[in-house]
């Protein structure tokens, strides 16, 4: 599902934020899954990038400081664009 979010973002779909929220609901239901923390962190940072309410520096710091995170390098590249 995290890969689906990446694809939607790359294809500039209008509903990326809604897909992130739906992913959060899925993760809450499956919170015992070992990958849930890294997936949740990825979703949180994706929402921050899409919403653009935080500065790029703050988001970049969050990416660097988050221990469990999928697609770290990809997220950093999205901030450079």
Is 20:50 a contact under the CB 8 Å cutoff?
A: yes
Give the H/E segment covering residue 33. Answer: none
- Is the Cβ–Cβ distance between 78 and 9 less than 8 Å? yes
For 65-79, what is each residue's pLDDT tens digit? 999 999 999 999 999
pLDDT at residue 67, as a whole number: 93
10-58 pLDDT tens trace: 999 889 999 999 999 998 888 887 788 999 999 999 999 999 889 999 9
The answer to whether the beta carbons of residues 39 and 23 sit under 8 Å apart is: yes
Task: Say yes or no to pLDDT of 81 above 80.
Answer: no
pTM (two decimals):
0.86
pLDDT of the residue at 22: 93
Q: What was the pLDDT predicted at 47?
A: 96
Q: Which residues are within 8 A (CB) of 42 and not within 5 positions of it... i.e. 6 or more apart?
A: 2, 5, 69, 70, 71, 75
pLDDT at 64: 97
For residue 10 the two structure tokens come to 């790359």
């Amino acid at each position: 599902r995290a890969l689906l979010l990446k694809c939607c973002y790359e294809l500039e779909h209008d509903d990326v934020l809604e897909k992130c929220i739906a992913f959060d609901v899925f993760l809450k239901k499956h919170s015992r899954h070992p990958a849930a923390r890294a997936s949740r962190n990825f979703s949180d940072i994706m929402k921050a990038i899409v919403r653009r309410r935080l500065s790029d520096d703050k988001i970049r710091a969050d990416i660097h400081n988050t221990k469990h995170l999928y697609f770290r390098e990809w997220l950093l590249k999205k901030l450079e664009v």
